[in-house]
Amino acid sequence: MKSIYDVIISPVITERSMSATQEGKYTFRVAYDATKPEIRQAAEQLFDVKVLKVNTSYQGGKTKRMGVHVGKQPVWKKAVVTIDLDPSEDSFETKGGKVSTTSKKYKTEIENFGFGQ
């Protein structure tokens, strides 16, 4: 089992990813072998938010040159985490037939996203 700090490596800061934060979508660079449930757990525990959806994609390494030397950057994995912007209390029925609600309050944004790297 990986630590939550090993799953999410860093935020991806681009103009496109920063504009998507208004819709509750945050983009992270994650471990290459991380699964969607691991990414969901890590984001919920690290940032205290309710994750609705996780989309992942593999990013191919770019070819770079330095003079006559040609090299390739490594392949990496990107995850777009969609969080719940309006977390409401969940209600469920207990064994006795009573309706109970959860009092867990989640945050509606990830503070310091893109700062402090």
Whole-number pLDDT of residue 103:
65
Whole-prediction pTM value?
0.78
pLDDT digits (tens, 9 = 90+) for 31-41: 999 999 999 99
The per-residue pLDDT for 117 is 42
Q: Can you name the CATH fold of 4-85?
A: Alpha-Beta Plaits (3.30.70)
- Mean pLDDT of the 52-61 span: 95
Integer Cα distance of 6 and 8 in angstroms: 6
Q: What is the mean pLDDT of residues 17-42?
A: 94
Separation of alpha carbons 68 and 60, rounded Å = 22
pLDDT of 43 higher than 80:
yes
Residues 55-75: what's their mean pLDDT? Answer: 95
Which residue type is seen at 28?
A: F
Domain ranges of the chain: 4-85
pLDDT over 80 (residue 92)? no
